[in-house]
Amino acid sequence: METWKAYQQKNKERFLDEMIDLLRIPSVSAKSDHKKDMLLCAEAVKNSLLASGADKVIIMPTNGHPVVYGEKIIDTHKPTVLVYGHYDVQPVEPLELWHSGPFEPVIKDGKVYARGSADDKGQFFMHVKALETLVKTNTMSTNIKFLIEGEEEVGSPNLGKFVSENKDLLKADVILISDSSMLSMENPSLDIGVRGLSYIEVEVTGPDRDLHSGTYGGAVANPIAILSKMIASCHDENNHITIPGFYDDVLEVSEEERALMNLAPYDENEYKQEVGVKELWGEKGYSTNERTGIRPTLEINGIWGGYMGEGAKTVLPSKATAKISARLVPDQSSAKMTKILLDYFTRQAPPYVTVKAFEHHGGEPYMTPINSKGYKAAVKAIAKTFGKIPVPVRGGGSIPICSILEKELGVKIIFMGFGLDSDNLHSPNEKYGIENFYKGIETIPWFHEYFAQNAN
């Protein structure tokens, strides 16, 4: 529609400025000293929705950070699209690796550098500006609701309860999420699934205090060595995970789907360069795309213990700790996997140490069918603005709330992400392409248009 393009062209600088303003708010949900910033950010999201034409926006409390709900209802007989996003961001450490302040957005090489630019402020904000486009050009064909939460990066601990208590308010015909990436601007893609997550912490304790490594070394087990050994034994020589039961519920993907997946353009050298490694690593028998899409994996997210200060200190530490997570695929269950992991680490404990393990957050894997009305509308919208049919791919990340949203609201989720894997999500120097941002704003109205046509 020409009016959309004209409106967006005229307002593009302002759209970008507004997004950048949102990035200045350090809404780190994991840290209690950012509680005020979280409220400030929720307020800013509310104001942006109101300014963009939503006729009702409420900041709704939860047991954690609040949810921002907004809506523009044009006709209750028309289909309703629920947009989900999150205004919280990941912590920024290690700060010294950032080229510019994580909350002082900088534009460089056509990209906005700041924490939250791609994940997810820059992406959900495209929907806010798509709403504005539709409202201001008087071309809405669907009702639009917004559910923008503040706890995605800490596992959405309160959203399940919130959704189940507000089913009527959130009632919709499809859920649209832009919180993922596409292969590239030249090769647009749509995620058809996300992996689930189990996350645990393991603490190994040896002596009741740090000991002199000369006096006691050799006579008392070193918790760091014990923990390292337990972790190292999790993968065999084929990088297959050895934990009993780990692969039990994995839904094997058909040869046909694997062949389709592997059609997605992939350049191994580029990939290696992108992440800065000399060689790739992974489960034998699977391609890179398969390893990050259809296979469960195990990662050590952090490990510490003993002396970590400047210079040398000869201690035999009392404790060693690691944070360990698994990405899950259909039909694995997060609760079951968490139990498998906790059992594995506690049962393996040799008698000379004590192992304590406990659970952090988790989430279920999710798959969306490619024959749904929502998926078809997304394909048409992307084809319209990118001039190419998007490839279906399985995302490697996790959005734990997906399975809960579908269960509570009874509708399918469409993942229309416009970021790139190279956007440094959760890493220093997170960025989001300005072209991606504009392309998203251009594409989203078409989704609504095609969904409305299709749903009738």
One DSSP character per residue, 113-179 reads ESTTTTTTHHHHHHHHHHHHHHHHTT---SEEEEEEES-GGGT-TTHHHHHHHTHHHH--SEEEE--
- Residue 153: CB minimum distance to Zn ion, A: 7
| CB closer to Zn ion, 178 vs 222 | 178
Buried residues in 226-235 as b, exposed as e (16+ CB within 10 A): bbbebbeebb
Q: Which residue has 């957050």 as its token pair?
A: 361
Question: Helix (H, G, I), strand (E, B), or coil: what is residue 362?
Answer: coil
- Residue 425: CB minimum distance to Zn ion, A: 7
Q: Are 272 and 422 in contact (CB under 8 A)?
A: no
- Residue 123: CB minimum distance to Zn ion, A: 8
Q: Are 448 and 142 in contact (CB under 8 A)?
A: yes
| CB closer to Zn ion, 179 vs 423 | 179
* First-residue to last-residue Cα distance in the chain: 20
| CB closer to Zn ion, 432 vs 450 | 432
DSSP type of residue 99: S
Strand partners, 110: none
* Gap between the Cα atoms of 147 and 109, Å rounded: 32
| CB closer to Zn ion, 120 vs 442 | 120
| CB closer to Zn ion, 120 vs 430 | 120
- Residue 119: CB minimum distance to Zn ion, A: 4
- Residue 191: CB minimum distance to Zn ion, A: 12
- Residue 179: CB minimum distance to Zn ion, A: 4
| CB closer to Zn ion, 173 vs 179 | 179
| CB closer to Zn ion, 179 vs 430 | 179
Q: Amino acid letter at 189?
A: S
- Residue 110: CB minimum distance to Zn ion, A: 22
Cβ contacts of residue 284 below 8 Å, gap of 6+? 238, 239, 240
Cβ contacts of residue 412 below 8 Å, gap of 6+? 174, 175, 368, 369, 372, 374, 375, 406
| CB closer to Zn ion, 305 vs 365 | 365
- Residue 177: CB minimum distance to Zn ion, A: 9
- Residue 392: CB minimum distance to Zn ion, A: 20
Half-sphere exposure of 20 (CA within 13 A, CB side): 15
One DSSP character per residue, 267-304 reads -HHHHHHHHT-SS----TT--HHHHHHTS-EEEEEEEE
- Give the footprint of Zn ion on this chain (CB under 5 A): 119-120, 179
Question: Helix (H, G, I), strand (E, B), or coil: what is residue 411?
Answer: coil
| CB closer to Zn ion, 18 vs 179 | 179
CA nearest neighbour of 58 among 151, 155, 162: 162
